[in-house]
């Protein structure tokens, strides 16, 4: 699974006994949820399940499949005769983490932290990166009211592939900063913008990338 295939795929399970397909048999499946889903094998002893994942999820998802005795017999006494209720088969979904190169003159520490937490890997070699993030911070003064100065910070973020194909270009909403000093008002606007990146903007960006 990787960014290019939108982290969606199918797993086909096969059930057999003594090399013969077990047809129309109840099988349980669990994927990223506490509850299981009941499936039935087809005429070839197989059933297919869909899986999906975002690379910013910290751990690779596990798909579990098993045969539950309670789906086969409807008698608690007979069910109690089975020492093993079921044997679970597990598949760990393999993920290819994108290599990211980013450029920004401001807030590099916060941006680097968000990229790492998203599950991506940072590279210092732009040529080997799968994705390139470019952050452009623009500050401007809004004026003065009484003793307070107001400024705003606007961020343009671009995401391109290593083949210079543009994936996303966004103008995040301007964020204001207010202070008794004009320079400090600009600095406050930048700080407030970085707070928004840390709070939800970056995760929204990653989600949008995965949905493209």
Q: What are the start and end residues of each CATH 2.60.40 domain in the chain?
A: 3-92
Least confident range of 57-66, 137-146, 169-178:
57-66
Distance CA 193, CA 199 (A): 10
Q: State the greatest distance between any 2 C-alpha atoms of the chain, in Å, as a whole number.
A: 86
Angle at 76 (CA atoms; ends 75, 77), nearest 5 degrees: 95
Which residues, listed in sequence order, are joined to residue 179 by a DSSP beta bridge?
149
H or E element at residue 83: none
Q: Which fold has domain 99-211?
A: Double Stranded RNA Binding Domain (3.30.160)
Comparing CA positions, the residue from 210, 167, 209 lying closest to residue 6 is 210
pTM (predicted TM-score): 0.62
User: Would you state the pLDDT for residue 5?
Assistant: 41
Asked if 173 and 197 count as a contact pair (C-beta separation under 8 A), the reply is no
State the DSSP code for 95: -
Give percent of the chain above pLDDT 70: 83
Residue 171 has pLDDT above 90, yes or no: yes
pLDDT at 55 over 50: yes
Mean pLDDT to the nearest integer, 54-77: 71
pLDDT, average across residues 118-122: 82
State which H helix or E strand residue 97 sits in: none
Token look-up 């297919």 returns 48
* Domain boundaries for CATH 3.30.160.150 within the chain: 99-211
pLDDT digits (tens, 9 = 90+) for 136-161: 999 999 998 989 999 999 999 999 88
Mean pLDDT rounded to a whole number for the chain: 83
What distance in Å separates the CA atoms of residue 185 and residue 27, rounded to the nearest whole number?
62
Spatial CA neighbour of 5 closest among 165, 152, 212: 212
How far is it, in rounded angstroms, from Cα 184 to Cα 190?
A: 10
Query: What CATH number should be reported for the domain whose range is 3-92?
Result: 2.60.40
Which of 19-33, 56-70, 81-95 has the weakest average pLDDT?
81-95
pLDDT in tens, 69-108: 776 767 666 666 665 656 778 887 776 778 899 999 999 9
């Amino acid at each position: 699974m990787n960014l290019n295939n939108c982290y969606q795929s199918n797993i086909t399970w096969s059930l057999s006994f003594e090399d013969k397909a077990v047809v129309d048999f109840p099988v349980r499946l669990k994927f990223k949820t506490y509850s299981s889903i009941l499936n039935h094998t087809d005429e070839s002893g197989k059933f297919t399940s869909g899986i999906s994942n975002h690379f910013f999820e910290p751990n690779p998802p596990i798909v579990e499949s098993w045969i539950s005795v309670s789906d086969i017999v409807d008698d608690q006494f007979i069910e109690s005769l089975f020492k093993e209720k079921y044997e679970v088969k597990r598949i760990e979904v393999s993920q290819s983490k994108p290599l990211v190169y980013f450029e920004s003159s401001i807030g590099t520490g916060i941006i680097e932290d968000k990229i790492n937490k998203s599950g991506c890997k940072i590279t210092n070699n732009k040529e080997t990166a799968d994705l390139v993030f470019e952050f452009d911070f623009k500050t401007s003064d809004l004026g003065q009211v009484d003793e307070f100065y107001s400024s705003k910070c606007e961020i343009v973020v671009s995401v391109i592939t290593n083949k210079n194909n543009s994936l996303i270009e966004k103008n995040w909403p301007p964020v204001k900063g207010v202070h008794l000093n004009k320079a400090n008002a600009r600095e406050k606007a930048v700080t407030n913008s970085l707070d928004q990146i840390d709070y939800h903007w970056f995760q929204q960006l990653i989600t949008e990338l995965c949905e493209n």
